[in-house]
Amino acid sequence: MALYLYNTLSRRKTEFVPRVGNHVAMYVCGPNLYGPAHIGHALSYIIFDTLKRYLKFRGYDVKHVQNFTDIEDRIIETARKENTTIQALAEKYIARFLSEMDSLNIRRADVYPRATEAIPTIIKMTQGLIEKGMAYELDGDVYFRVRADEDYGKLSHRSLDEMEAGARVAVDERKNDPMDFALWKASKSGEPAWDSPWGPGRPGWHIECSAMNLEQHGPQIDIHGGGQDVLFPHHENEIAQSESYTGKEFAHYWVHNALLHLPGQEKMTRHLGGLIYIPDALSRHSSDAIRAFILGTHYRSPLAWTEDGVDAAERGLDKLRAAVKDAVAPGPEANDALSESAAQAREKFITMMDDDLNTAGALGALYDLAREINRARGEGSSPAQLAAAQATLLELADVLGLTLREPTHAVSADESAKIDALVAERNALRAAKKYKEADGVRAQLTEMGIEIADSAQGTTWKKTK
RNA sequence: GGCGACGUGGCCAAGUGGCUAAGGCAAGGCUCUGCAAAAGCCUGAUCGUGGGUUCAAUUCCCACCGUCGCCUCCA
């Protein structure tokens, strides 16, 4: 068994084999820092987080690099509008981004390089490309010469002639070819600028990722990821620059996630509006529910975000949570039938994930196992007997970034004491068979957002809102 | 116009050339419970339409209808 990933470059699923031993060099395109992230970003980063978790689960050693684009037209524009600096803007949104990703249980990358910290490498690469005849200077700008790159278009699978035929881009007459793109842009007055052989300027959009990859990973990487929207031109240009500069194959696997949208609308993206921000989503749903909702669809299929859909995922998680709620440390005691179920679930989980990250199928394996655990408990298995299977369920859930913890709702000490008193009162009434009065107390608790459950072990309660 | 993807039970969504077409939500019935809640059990689909290939297709091919993505900035 081996992991197969769909590679955009070959348009096929191929077996994943790292270039060097079990070391995986992975680079995922990070956000442009001119505004806050939205749940479309969350989708992409949840998927690549899951890929990373799975690679680690499979025994690979992963170096995950994710950039921050902190210099770009939009950022300059936004900084000017908000009367601030690009640095301040970047700092603000980086802090927000990282904390939002944390709250979605997305593990941090190993390195977060920033474009502005890669300027010397960007200049070195640009210079190198000019020397090779792959780029040319024009009034302080430097453009990549797409016609000099014989396989330009190989990633997005289109030819220059096709693209130019249907071009919607305003043509800059000075350029050699309409598709030539900027590696370096001369700065206008008042714009951030760095000294360069071509005068004061700043990097183009695509070269930063090539430079940061070179700095962090070297000339060749295993996995390059991002949303399908950055496939062209961003990744196409990246591959062109990097390979023209190094003369080597750049990324071995290109992985692109499909995009998120709202029902009946186009993709969620910042320049179209119609965004749902991460704190808003988290105020209504647990991070587990958001992840389960997203991972319930294959990453290469577009997904419509609906509140009902996430709610359904939340309710589904209750079944998984119930399965592990009384988990104790696994010991020698085990339920053989259950151990068999756990082994089957693990096998199914791996089979699914090996097949190009079939997270929906993997989730199915989790539900199968949860059902067996809940059934075994119902049939009288002790916590000790359930423990090993529960450990498996928690381990596999964690690969998907699911904690299976009850969503927490803060309860003050005062409130807690009051609830305990009411629960005790109700139980006294029940013991006296005064059920009508007991139900009255329960209604009172429900009113407070408290859900109670009676069992042989006593009455438990939880706050649900 | 070019390239590409998708259309599976009420909703979401895996999947396979022939073996019971996963799983979740919702609905109905049942078990448990004083009643509930939770959990468990049971109940439903011939896979957009029309052709073709094949002993056999939901699964391959073609056409059509519908939805969507990229071709400018975008995860």
In this predicted model, what pLDDT tens digit does every residue of A274-299 receive, in sequence order? 899 999 999 999 999 999 999 999 99
Strand B nucleotides within 7 Å of a protein CB: 1-6, 11-16, 22-26, 33-41, 68-75
Instruction: For residue A47, give the nucleotide whose C1' atom is nearest its CA.
Output: B75
pLDDT, residue A464, reads 77
* CATH numbers and ranges of domains, chain A: 18-261 (3.40.50.620), 290-399 (1.20.120.640), 413-463 (no CATH)
Q: Cα A327 to the chain's mean position, in Å?
A: 29
Phi–psi pair at A330, nearest 5 degrees: -65, 135
> Residue A101: pLDDT above 90?
yes
Closest CA to A9 of A223, A268, A266: A223
Q: Which residues pair with A143 in a beta bridge?
A: A136, A182
Using the C1' atom of nucleotide B24, identify the protein residue whose alpha carbon is closest. Answer: A316
In this predicted model, what pLDDT tens digit does every residue of A152-197 receive, in sequence order? 999 999 888 877 765 555 566 778 888 999 999 999 888 899 999 9
A458/A453 Cα distance (integer angstroms): 8
Instruction: For residue A376, give the nucleotide whose C1' atom is nearest its CA.
Output: B40
A272/A265 Cα distance (integer angstroms): 10
Mean pLDDT of A233-254: 96
Mean pLDDT of A310-316: 96
For the CA of A263 and the C1' of B10, the distance in angstroms is 18
Q: How many CA atoms lie within 13 A of A276 on its CB side?
A: 21
In this predicted model, what pLDDT tens digit does every residue of A328-385 receive, in sequence order? 999 888 888 999 999 999 999 999 999 999 999 999 999 999 999 999 999 989 999 9
Question: Cβ atoms within 10 A of the Cβ of A68, count?
Answer: 22
Mean pLDDT of A410-434: 91
Instruction: For residue A379, give the nucleotide whose C1' atom is nearest its CA.
Output: B40
Mean pLDDT of A196-214: 95
Q: Do residues A240 and A285 touch, judged by C-beta distance below 8 A?
A: no
From residue A411, give the alpha-carbon distance in Å to each of A104, A427, A444.
Answer: 22, 21, 16
For the CA of A4 and the C1' of B53, the distance in angstroms is 30
pLDDT, residue A266, reads 86
In this predicted model, what pLDDT tens digit does every residue of A10-37 receive, in sequence order? 999 999 999 999 999 999 999 999 999 9
pLDDT, residue A313, reads 96
Q: Which residues pair with A55 in a beta bridge?
A: none
For the CA of A451 and the C1' of B43, the distance in angstroms is 30
Instruction: For residue A297, give the nucleotide whose C1' atom is nearest its CA.
Output: B13
Can you tell me whether residue A93 is helix, strand or coil?
helix
The angle that helices A383-399 and A359-378 make with each other, rounded to 10 degrees, is 170
